[in-house]
Structure 1
Amino acid sequence: MTADLKGKKVLVIGSGLSGVGSVNLLNKVGALPVVLEENTKVTEDNIRNKLHEEDREGTRIIVGTISDEDLSDIALTVPSPAVPLDAPTVMRIKDKNIPIWSEIELAYNFAKGKMIAITGTNGKTTTTTLVGEIMKAHFGKAYVVGNIGVSYAESALEMDESCVTVGEISSFQLEAVDNFHANVSAILNITPDHLNRHHTMECYAQMKENITHNQTKEDTCVLNYDNEYTRDFGARCPAKVVFFSSKEKLEDGFYLDGEDIYMATAGNAMKIMNIHDMNLVGTCNVENVMAAIAMSLAMDVPLATILSVIRNFKAVEHRIEFVATKRGVDYYNDSKGTNPDAAIQGVKAMCKPTILIGGGYDKGNDYDEWIESFGDTIKLLVLIGQTRQKIAECCDKHGFSNYVFKDTYEEALEFCTESAQKGDAVLLSPACASWDMFPNYETRGKRFKDYVNKLSD
């Protein structure tokens, strides 16, 4: 599907990866992009230098507040995922009845080929990356885009009808979709997260469900049977539903029984693979693999190709990523554990006494279930960041007293090294975002890895 934006002014809010990709696409289709950057600490030159060289001259840039006069001839607005739809500027745009598209909606209107769209509170990046590798192995040409760090708009015009696009799609990106239509979609799970943005779980879940927007029974949606929200959504999902479960033996779908993954059809089950045949660790990754198999089969990829890719697939960086063994201690980087449910999966993946680094930016989450998951695995919790006092109070409530505060990240890392004994593990899985100390979780994880790799053996 192609929208006609030639000669029309399109307002792009935000100058990050999504904004730059949107500007590039808009220029190529003859639109007149206007970039609005409301962060006044950023200069116009900073923004212009981010843009592609061919986009720098013809793109108007506004830093600060946009006037009503400038809004008067805007035909379309594309806010970056970080911009809430209830932000004051967006509300002004809504009042003027200017259409609002997310970047994925903009890109979809110009892209070609088939679309696989993956969302969920946790597991998106690993699953998207794995499905992308499977699509490349079978179709030869596949694009992996979205919240994974690659602008969908940046690649949209390169696509042809033979392409397959695999998108990691966040709830923020699903707030403003219209024509967007996935041939195959997945909601891996829905647990509390981003409530500072969506305010209620009902609203958050609804945004996730938007990934099935425009799907029909000709399409497929892969859902987690073990998650209450996604299991209930299965009854009203517009697409053909395929469930996966790590807890229940399903009559239809994919499930884990002991150490084996099965595929069941009308009660007839077939063993697909043993979990020790893959390099990924933890039940969360078994679930990701089952979802990837289900989506790939829905795309008519042969099972042999799927299993071959899975057996050779390595963990995604920053997600329960083994870093090194130093002085008999195993170090794991799970910096992408930015909410309690994701961090629970990190804890579950540990099979030895573990020192855990937790804490960070407060997204309004509760930490009870995370603390309860510690069991006998977590021997010591090292707390940092904005949420450390809130987490400590939760620890006290649940009778977990073996925690310490550290003022800096470096102090926390050094303390873990000094406290760990041979046979222990040190796990960075903060259950919080990184924004109080770092620009993103990648920087937090890279700093951890750099520190570990410099330790002597």
Structure 2
Amino acid sequence: MRKLENFPYQQVLVLGLAKSGTAAAKTLLRNGMKVRVNDKQLSEKSTIVQDLVALGAEMVLGSHPLSVLEGIEIVVKNPGISYENPVLVEAMKRKIPIVTEIEIAYQLVPELLIGITGSNGKTTTTTLTTSMLQESNRPVKVAGNIGIVATEAAENLAEQEALVLELSSFQLQGTIAFRPNIAVILNVFQAHLDYHKTLENYKQAKFNIFRNQTEEDFLIYNADDDEIEEQVKTARAKLIPFSTTKKLEEGVWTDGTSVYFLDEKVINLEKIVLVGNHNLENILAAVAAAKLAGATNEGIERVLTTFTGVKHRLQFVDKVHGRLFYNDSKATNMLATEKALAAFKQPTILLAGGLDRGDDLSELIPHFKHVKGLVSFGETKEKLEKVAEEANVPIILNAENVEEAVKVAYEHSEENDVILLSPACASWDQYRTFEERGDMFIQAVHKLL
């Protein structure tokens, strides 16, 4: 088990437990730090609380009193806790550093650390990169916003094992020294403004992924995104751009028939089974990260000729009587749905709807050109019906939920149609998570068999 060799703090407040807080607290305690834990939800009877007490943690439960900051040198916060929390506001006044647990994970990884972020495509790119390294017999673990907690993975890394982290803006905002050897930034679009308050705050959190990189590191970025291209001019790392539209002498690109890393051909496009131009961007980024980390072309090809998508992210579910069903429940905003629709050329019946956040869904209209039908559900179903009417969609129907929408769509479809769940909305009006919504879709499709 790895040790924190250079962590310069001894008195630590862990604010909020859940998975990341629990893992961080345990790691800190095992490394001899004095840890105070403050959690509003858990009680003394909780198994998690009892485990931490047994390791020597001081627990403050049930509320967030400002007294928890007494004697504290650094705060490790749960990524989901707002910076408007009174304890964090007071910590900032006292100039106490505030981090998320990926800062601790970073301190544990002396070998290769790969960090991947972006508004869309993080999970797919992280999964592809990890799989390419595994297929190339490169020892690797994956963690962060996907799979296990980063600190837990880092603490248990084997010698010479790489760590691939999927990183959210919430995690990246809480960094001080965090420095991946290979950083990937896919795209930055408007998101999570309820947390970050402004688009600029959100973007700067994302750009933290390369702030501390040096000339020894690599920064893989989307050269088709003008703002990202402008931002990376301040980076000190070696720049590795990727593009689906132009040839790059020092990057990863495609000429429409093959994928190239620098001047080396890696794979023919026709062999790649993952659909969508947005996924081609993810593939290029993953190829760059994997190649820099030691992947072989053979390992990369084995992944790209078999990988059909991450669950709930434009995932091919099944072919039922000639209809192709795709689960894109992770599409919780319009941009994700626009990209999903762009992945298909054949007639498509779109299943969409969910939590009404007040968005102007008419932005979807230009992307409905090959949508032959809409089945809407949830709080936004009337809004989406109006959008479909303006877009002259021939079939406009609604359903009570995703399960019923599958049945309705199938009844109005024809052979070779795509039936696509890509809601453009969060799931919380009817489902606890987008994963639950996607699972309901998958179950409903299988009932048609």
Instruction: Give the TM-score, by structure 2 length.
Output: 0.90
Aligned partners of 1:363 and 1:34: how far apart in 2? Answer: 37
Question: Shift of residue 397 of structure 1?
Answer: 6.0
Preserved contact between residue 80 and residue 102 of structure 1 (Cα < 8 Å) = yes
* Of 271-280 and 166-175, the range deviating more from structure 2: 271-280
* Of 406-415 and 388-397, the range deviating more from structure 2: 388-397
Question: Shift of residue 169 of structure 1?
Answer: 0.5
The structure 2 residue matched to 1:234, chosen from 223, 232, 235, is 232
Map of 2:340 onto structure 1: 346
Paired residue secondary structure (1:438): coil
Preserved contact between residue 333 and residue 448 of structure 1 (Cα < 8 Å) = yes
Map of 2:81 onto structure 1: 83
CA deviation map 1:303-362 (0-9, x unaligned): 343333333434211111111122332211111222222222211222322211222235
Preserved contact between residue 325 and residue 419 of structure 2 (Cα < 8 Å) = yes
- 2:437 equivalent to 1:444: yes
Question: Shift of residue 412 of structure 1?
Answer: 2.6
* Of 169-178 and 291-300, the range deviating more from structure 2: 291-300
CA deviation map 1:34-78 (0-9, x unaligned): 433335xx6554xx3357x84363445444422233331333221
Preserved contact between residue 205 and residue 229 of structure 1 (Cα < 8 Å) = no
Aligned partners of 1:89 and 1:23: how far apart in 2? Answer: 18
Map of 2:5 onto structure 1: 2
Aligned partners of 1:163 and 1:310: how far apart in 2? Answer: 23
Preserved contact between residue 183 and residue 219 of structure 1 (Cα < 8 Å) = yes
- 2:16 equivalent to 1:23: no
Question: Shift of residue 4 of structure 1?
Answer: 4.5
CA deviation map 1:84-143 (0-9, x unaligned): 223333212222333211111122123332111000111111111111122234454211
Paired residue secondary structure (2:283): helix
Q: Structure 1 vs Structure 2: percent identity of aligned residues?
A: 35
Map of 2:54 onto structure 1: 57
Question: Shift of residue 160 of structure 1?
Answer: 4.8
Paired residue secondary structure (2:54): coil
CA deviation map 1:3-25 (0-9, x unaligned): 4578x453323332222222232
Preserved contact between residue 354 and residue 377 of structure 2 (Cα < 8 Å) = yes
Structure 2 residue runs of 5 or longer lacking an equivalent are none
Structure 1 residue runs of 5 or longer lacking an equivalent are none
Preserved contact between residue 85 and residue 91 of structure 1 (Cα < 8 Å) = yes
- Please, what is the CA RMSD of the aligned residues? 2.7
Map of 2:90 onto structure 1: 92
Preserved contact between residue 375 and residue 396 of structure 2 (Cα < 8 Å) = yes
Instruction: Give the TM-score, by structure 1 length.
Output: 0.88
Paired residue secondary structure (2:404): helix
Paired residue secondary structure (1:10): strand
Paired residue secondary structure (1:234): helix
Where do 1:139-178 residues align within 5 Å? 140-178=138-176
Preserved contact between residue 40 and residue 61 of structure 2 (Cα < 8 Å) = yes
Aligned partners of 1:442 and 1:33: how far apart in 2? Answer: 34
Aligned partners of 2:35 and 2:379: how far apart in 1? Answer: 38
CA deviation map 1:263-294 (0-9, x unaligned): 44xxxx55432222122111122111111111
Where do 1:128-277 residues align within 5 Å? 128-138=126-136, 140-264=138-262, 269-277=263-271
Aligned length: 445
Map of 1:307 onto structure 2: 301
| CA separation of 1:204 and 1:351: change in aligned 2, threshold 3 A | same
| CA separation of 1:196 and 1:439: change in aligned 2, threshold 3 A | same
Preserved contact between residue 79 and residue 170 of structure 2 (Cα < 8 Å) = yes
Preserved contact between residue 36 and residue 68 of structure 2 (Cα < 8 Å) = no
Preserved contact between residue 372 and residue 393 of structure 2 (Cα < 8 Å) = no
Aligned partners of 1:399 and 1:384: how far apart in 2? Answer: 19
* Of 19-28 and 53-62, the range deviating more from structure 2: 53-62
Paired residue secondary structure (1:179): coil
* Of 86-95 and 149-158, the range deviating more from structure 2: 86-95
Paired residue secondary structure (2:104): helix
Aligned partners of 1:37 and 1:421: how far apart in 2? Answer: 53
